[in-house]
Structure 1
Amino acid sequence: MTDLHGKTLIITGATGNLGQVLARALSERGARLALVGRDPTTLATTRQQLPAQSEVATFVADLLNPQEVAAMVQGAVKRFGSIHALINAQGGFAMGPRIQSTSDADWDFMMDLNLRTVFNTARALIPTLLASGNGRIVNVSARAATRGVAGMAPYCASKAAVITLTESLADELKHDGITVNCVLPGTLDTPQNRAAMPDQDHDRWVSLEALADVILFLVSDASRAVTGAAIPVYGRS
C-alpha cells in the first residue's frame, strides 16, 4: 500500500464524486489534506466522512478567481508548512449543440471548468513546489480528449487542452524535481452516469476507486521517473 505519511496534498473538486474517493484513499494512507471546494457545507460534510484522526483542512475558493486561488495556496502552506502534491480533480461534462449553434457561454463554461481551473491552481502552487525542490501535479483529463465527438466539441477540446498543458508543465519543470502527469478516464461509474445511461453495462465502466489508485501512484515517490504522461484508465469500456 502506498505510504503517504508526512505528505500534504491539495485536492480541488474535493466535494465531487472523485474528490471524495480520493480524500478517503489519501487519508487512509496517512496524507495530510487540503480540500478545496466552493461550498462550505459540502466541504464540511466531506471532512466529516474521513477518519477522525485525519489531518485535514478545508478551503473555500472559486478556482476561476486567481486571487482566491492564491489565497487558498497561501492558507494551505500556512496550515501545513509545505505542499507535496496537487490533484486537480475539479471538472465536469456537458453535452452541447453542434458547433454552429454553440454559444460563447457554452464554450467558455467547458474551458473554464476543465482547463482554466487547472491553469490557475498550477500557476499559484508552482512557486511553492519550486522552493521545496520537489512535488507532484496530477490533472484529470478524459478519454474524450483523444477523439472529437459530435455534440461534445467544447468538452473534448477542453480535456485535450489539459493534456497539452500537462505536457508543457512537465517540460518546464522536469529539471526541478516536479513531475506533472494526467489521467484519461473512460466512463466513470457514478450515480449521475448510471442515471443518464441506465441500459449500459456498468461493470465495464471505471470505478472511482480504480481511478484513485492510479492517481495515488502518480502522487507517490514510486512515480518519480514518470512525467508528461497521459495515462489511459479505460476499464473495459
Structure 2
Amino acid sequence: MSNTTARGYQGNGKGSLEGSVIAVAGAAGPAGAAALLRLAEEGATVVAADSDVERLAQAVDAARFAHGGASVTGETVDLLDLAATREWAARTEKEFGKVHGLVHLVGGWRGSATFAETDLAHWDTLHELLIRTVQHTSLAFEAPLARSGNGRYLLVSAAGASSPTAGNAAYSASKAAAEAWTLALGDSFRKAGGEAGPQAAAAVLVVKALVNDQMRAERPKAKFAGFTDVKDLADTIAGTWSKPTEEVNGQRLWLTPKP
C-alpha cells in the first residue's frame, strides 16, 4: 500500500489535532474507518494498521479523499508479534518525531447459547485478539506516548466486561482482562509523572455494542437500543486530547449507561 498522501478537497483552517500523530490498531473495520475519518478531519497524521490489507486500503483511501491534504497511511502489522509491534512504534516515532496516540480497535467475538456450552477454544482465540494485542501495543507505545507530552492510549471495550452474561463468559473475561491491563498502563503513566502529573493517559471507552450505517441498512426495523454509532465513538476518541491528561488517565469513559 502506498504511503503517499492523496489530495482531494482542500479543507480550510486547522483542526484540534493539527500536528498530532496517532496510530490506530485494528483500523480496517467500521469503527476504524470512522476513527480514521474523524482524526484526519481534525488534522492529525494518522498511521493505521490492520491484518486485512484490502479493507485497510479502503479505509485509508476513504479518509484521504474525504479530507484532502490529510496524511493517512496504512500498513499490515502482526500485533501478535511483540517485536513487530515494537518496530511499528519505533518506526512511527522516528518518521514523525512523536507519537501522540494509540487507538486500540482490534475486536472479535465468540459466544455460546449457554454457559455449559462454552467452547474453551473461544477463549484461546479471544485471548489472542483482545488481550495479547493490547499487551503488545501498550508495551510498544508506552514510552513514545509518554515522550509526546500529551499521549493517549485508548481501548474500546464492552459493558459486558462489568456485567458478563452466561453465554459470553470468554468474551467478557477477555474484555475485563484487557481493561485491567490498560488501567495498569494508566497507573504507570501516573507514577512516572509524579507531582507534575501524567504526561500521557490510558483510558477505556466502554460501549454496549457498536452500530454503523451498513448495519442499519441491512436491518431497517432494528432499534439497536443502547448501541453506540461508530461516528459517535470516533468523536469521543478525538475529543480525549482536548481534556486534561490527568482527567482522562485511568478512567473508564462510558458511552452507554452503566449496567
- Comparing 182-191 with 119-128, greater Cα deviation is found at 182-191
Residue 22, structure 1, aligned to residue 35, structure 2: yes
Q: Which residue of 2 aligns with 1:83?
A: 99
* Cα deviation digits, residues 68-121 of structure 1 (max 9, x gap): 212221221233121001110111222235444434421111122112111110
2:204–2:251 contact (8 Å) kept in structure 1: yes
Q: How does 1:181-200 map to 2 (within 5 A)?
A: 181-190=203-212, 200=222
Q: Which residue of 1 aligns with 2:8?
A: none
Structure 1 residue 198, shift from structure 2 partner: 6.8
1:171–1:228 contact (8 Å) kept in structure 2: yes
- Which of structures 1 and 2 has the bigger CA Rg? 2
2:15–2:41 contact (8 Å) kept in structure 1: no
Q: How does 1:110-189 map to 2 (within 5 A)?
A: 110-174=126-190, 175=193, 176-189=198-211
Counterpart Cα distance in 2 of 1:123 and 1:217 = 24
Counterpart Cα distance in 1 of 2:127 and 2:110 = 11
Residue 37, structure 1, aligned to residue 50, structure 2: yes
2:49–2:74 contact (8 Å) kept in structure 1: yes
Structure 2, gaps ≥5 residues long: 1-13
1:35–1:56 contact (8 Å) kept in structure 2: yes
* Cα deviation digits, residues 102-159 of structure 1 (max 9, x gap): 3442111112211211111010111223344441111111111111101100111111
Structure 1 residue 171, shift from structure 2 partner: 1.0
Counterpart Cα distance in 2 of 1:224 and 1:95 = 36
CA RMSD, Structure 1 to Structure 2 (Å): 2.5
Counterpart Cα distance in 1 of 2:133 and 2:217 = 27
SS in 2 for 1:141: strand
* Candidates 106, 111, 114, aligned match of 2:122: 106
Counterpart Cα distance in 1 of 2:158 and 2:244 = 20
Counterpart Cα distance in 1 of 2:56 and 2:165 = 34
One-letter code aligned to 2:152:
R
Counterpart Cα distance in 2 of 1:147 and 1:138 = 21
* Candidates 235, 248, 252, aligned match of 1:213: 235
* Cα deviation digits, residues 13-43 of structure 1 (max 9, x gap): 1111111000000000000000010122222
* Cα deviation digits, residues 148-207 of structure 1 (max 9, x gap): 101100111111112211221111111241111011111221368659977641365321
1:90–1:113 contact (8 Å) kept in structure 2: yes
- Taking a change above 3 Å as real, the CA distance of residues 103 and 187 of structure 1, as seen in their structure-2 partners, is closer
- Taking a change above 3 Å as real, the CA distance of residues 109 and 79 of structure 1, as seen in their structure-2 partners, is same
One-letter code aligned to 2:38:
A
* Candidates 61, 71, 87, aligned match of 2:87: 71
- Comparing 47-56 with 118-127, greater Cα deviation is found at 47-56
2:105–2:155 contact (8 Å) kept in structure 1: yes
Q: Which residue of 2 aligns with 1:230?
A: 252
Structure 1, gaps ≥5 residues long: none
Q: How many residues align?
A: 236
TM-score by length of 1: 0.89
Residue 10, structure 1, aligned to residue 32, structure 2: no
